[in-house]
Amino acid sequence: MKLLDILTYPDPRLRTVAKKVNVFDKSLKNLSENMLYTMYEAEGIGLAASQVDVHIRLIVMDLSESKDNPMVFVNPEVEILENKSHLSYREGCLSVPGFYEEITRPDKIKLTWQDIEGNQHSTYPEGLLTVCIQHEIDHLEGKLMVDYVSRLKRERLKKKAAK
Ligand code: GNR
Ligand code: NI
């Protein structure tokens, strides 16, 4: 198992749009295992490949209290089912350390993805999965939590990060 370096804001590499995974091989499995290890070590509940400077559509997550439920999502896609139903959650991000902010996101979504073998799945997420999967898919699009806050707040964060 290898501990991977996590990119932090405002590193421009975090803005890269990730590419679709087409090959489900041993190296994909290895990367997902190293990402899970890195996520647990950093005490995060999710990690996108973009955050470790690998720009493919791969996400790992563990939302369990006991940290024994590793999940891997390849090529995840979210469809918003209701435009008017939202949920607010105080989010944090391993790529923006020390920054926590209430973010509002769609609440009624359908999630489709592939597992590490390439098999297709779908579900209608509830609770924290709804929030976290959208946070992680944002990373794959090169989008960060800081993009949801005011310019003033974002500029303050950038200055703080430069120190
Ligand atoms: O560890 C994390 N916690 C978290 C809390 C609320 C909403 C989203 C998250 S994801 C974050 C880890 C991370 O930065 N993933 O990209
Ligand atoms: Ni994040």
136 an active-site residue? yes
Q: What pLDDT digit, counting tens, does each position of 12-51 carry?
A: 999 999 999 999 999 999 999 999 999 999 999 999 999 9
Ligand with an atom nearest the CA of residue 134: 1
In angstroms, rounded to a whole number, what is the distance separating the alpha carbons of residues 71 and 15? 24
The closest-lying atom of ligand 1 relative to the alpha carbon of residue 136 is: 16
Residue 163: what pLDDT? 82
Is any ligand 1 atom within 6 A of the Cβ of residue 45? yes
Whole-prediction pTM value? 0.98
Distance between CA atoms of residues 101 and 54, nearest Å: 26
With the most atoms of ligand 1 within 8 angstroms of its CB, the residue from 9, 36, 61, 94 to mutate is 94
Look at 161 and 69; give whichever has higher pLDDT. Answer: 69
Q: What spacing in Å lies between the alpha carbon of 73 and ligand 1's midpoint?
A: 15
The DSSP symbol for 4 reads P
Catalytic residue among 33, 136, 141, 155: 136
CA–CA–CA angle 30, 32, 38 (5° rounding): 105
> Which of the four CATH numbers 3.40.50.9100, 3.30.1330.10, 3.90.600.10, 3.90.45.10 does domain 12-162 have?
3.90.45.10
Would you say 31 and 55 are in contact if contact means Cβ atoms under 8 Å apart? no
